[in-house]
Every structure is written in structure tokens, then in C-alpha cells.
Structure 1
């Protein structure tokens, strides 16, 4: 009886893991889309479309994280994104910016940090059944960007000082 319960728990955790990856894929796809009117759209669209595809593939086939192609693409993206995150963090710190989401560099920093954290969470998730800690973390991270986006969408005064290309966000 205990073995059946453990198997059911593992299968539910796997389903939740896949749903989280599909949800993050949708979020990253939205993030890619809203870059259309950004002055450096191409760069940011690539930055978000890579995790979009990587997460979609995990949602479809969770063991893909153990393939060499998936790992190399994810690792390259994490490496490049981490370098950009470090440069943005340096800039934000140097300018003593505290309201990060009120500055374009802060939003870029936050978005790229999210992609790095998510891809690191996904790394090697296909080796064995995903555990409760990974899935709980995934659920918390998955909910955060959607709730944040909704909060900023509802509270228009928070976006009043944003540049015009940022105000057309969905």
C-alpha cells in the first residue's frame, strides 16, 4: 500500500513539474512577445525565446534535460544571461537604484535572473523523478511572474513613469 502511495505522489509531482514548465514556457513566450516595440527587441526576444523552447520541451518530454543538446543550449543561455545579469546588477548598484522594477535595466535584470534561476532549477531534472522540494520551488517561482504581471497591469500608476514602449505590455 505504501509503495502505491509513493508512486502516486511521484506521478503527481511529475505532472505538476510539467505543468510548471508549460506555464513558464507561456510566460517566457509572453515576455518574448512584449519585446516587439523595445529599441533592442531582437536581443531580448532571443533572451526569452530560448527558455520558452527549453521549457516547452520539458513540459512535453521531461527527460530531455539529460540530452546533450538541451544541456548545452541551456548552459550557454545561463552563462550569457548570467554575464548580462552581472553587468546590469553592477549598473543598478552603481546608480544606487532601489526601485528596480521602475527602471528598464531593473526589469531586464529581473527577467534575465528569472530565466537563469528557472533553467538552473530544470537542470538534471530528468535524471530521476522530481522531488517535493524541486516541485514546491517550481510552483512558487511559476506563480510569482504571473502575479507580478497582473499586479502591475491592475495598478497602472506603478507604470506611469515607464518609457512608452514599456506601457504597451499586455
Structure 2
């Protein structure tokens, strides 16, 4: 029982971290050329994930599930479009391309929403909880790596350099 309680706390903490990540990702869109779109893309999972961190059973709610499904479907379509664009036009490291960074954001959203949606039927534990922890830490570790990597920062577009 104590292990189950710890797993539930970890799950809630992971959701809080992801809500913070999605909120921060929405906030840094202010000077992006297509800021409106990307702000919404990140604010929807931020709100849905914050609700899960507050009340994990919300994932049983039909409205929550419908919003999650619709947003995930849009992210899958966006992921496909960005992947095709990158395949056709990328000239180097995809993290140096704005579309590559956007693609990773959509993939993270899709994976996280899938984990949240499946948590209603089966409480997260074991491998799925470890996956949730890894996914929750990945964006922050990536941001830290990109921020300290001077070569990568030099390749950022101007609107990215003025956000931080």
C-alpha cells in the first residue's frame, strides 16, 4: 500500500512538472512568428495535465477525455506534417531547425497525453511510471543542454535568442 501511495505521488509530481513545462513552452512563444498557434498547442495540455496533477481521477471524465483525444489527434497530424517537412528540407541537425524543435514538442505532448489517458483504467506503476518520470524530466534536461551548448545557441533564430 505504501508503494502505491508513493507511485501516486510520483505520478502527480510528474503531471505538475509537465504542466509547468507546457506552461513555460506556451510562455516562450511570445515573439515567435506563429505564436498564437503554438501557445494554444501548449496551453491545452498544460491545463489538462494540471487537472490530472490536482485530481488524477479527472481522466475518467468524458469532457477531459474528449479534449485530450482531439488535441492528441491534432498533434499527431502536426507531427506527421513536420516530419515530412523535415525529411524533405532539413539540412543538418533537426534540433537546429525550428520545425525539429516543434516536432519534439508535439511528440512530447502526444506521449504525455497518452500516458494521462491510460492512467484512468490502470494506475501508473512499474515500467509506465518510470517512462512517465523519464518523459517528465526529458524536456528540462534538453532545455538545460541546449541552453549551455553555445554552438547550438548560436544557431537559434533571433526570436529565440530574445526570449531567455
Q: Do both proteins adopt the same fold according to a TM-score greater than 0.5, normalized to the shorter chain? A: yes
24, 28, 40: which one aligns with 1:34:
28
Which stretch has the larger CA shift, 141-150 or 156-165? 156-165
Structure 1 window deviating more from structure 2 (24-33 vs 159-168): it is 159-168
Structure 1 gaps, min length 5: 1-6
Aligned to 1:147: 141
Say whether 1:74 aligns with 2:68. yes
Distance 2:62 2:91 in 1: 39
Aligned-residue RMSD, C-alpha: 1.2
Quickly say closer, same or farther: Cα 1:152–1:120, change in 2 above 3 A: same
* 2:41 aligned residue: 47
Q: Verify: 1:109 aligned to 2:103, yes or no.
A: yes
CA distance in 1, matches of 2:123, 2:78: 32
SS at match of 1:113: helix
Distance, in Å, in 2 between the alignment partners of 1:118 and 1:34 is 20
Counterpart-to-counterpart distance in 2, 1:128 and 1:96 = 40
Contact kept? 1:66, 1:124, Cα under 8 Å: no
Q: How many residues align?
A: 164
C-alpha contact (below 8 Å) 1:10/1:130 kept by paired residues: no
Larger-Rg structure: 1
TM score, norm. by length of structure 1: 0.92
Cα deviation digits, residues 93-125 of structure 1 (max 9, x gap) = 112544111000111111111101110111131
Residue ranges of structure 2 left out of the alignment (5+ in a row) = none
| Cα distance between partner residues in 2 of 1:144 and 1:13 | 19
* TM-score, with length taken from structure 2: 0.95
Residue 157 of structure 2 corresponds to residue 168 of structure 1: no
Distance of 1:124 and 1:118 partners within structure 2: 10
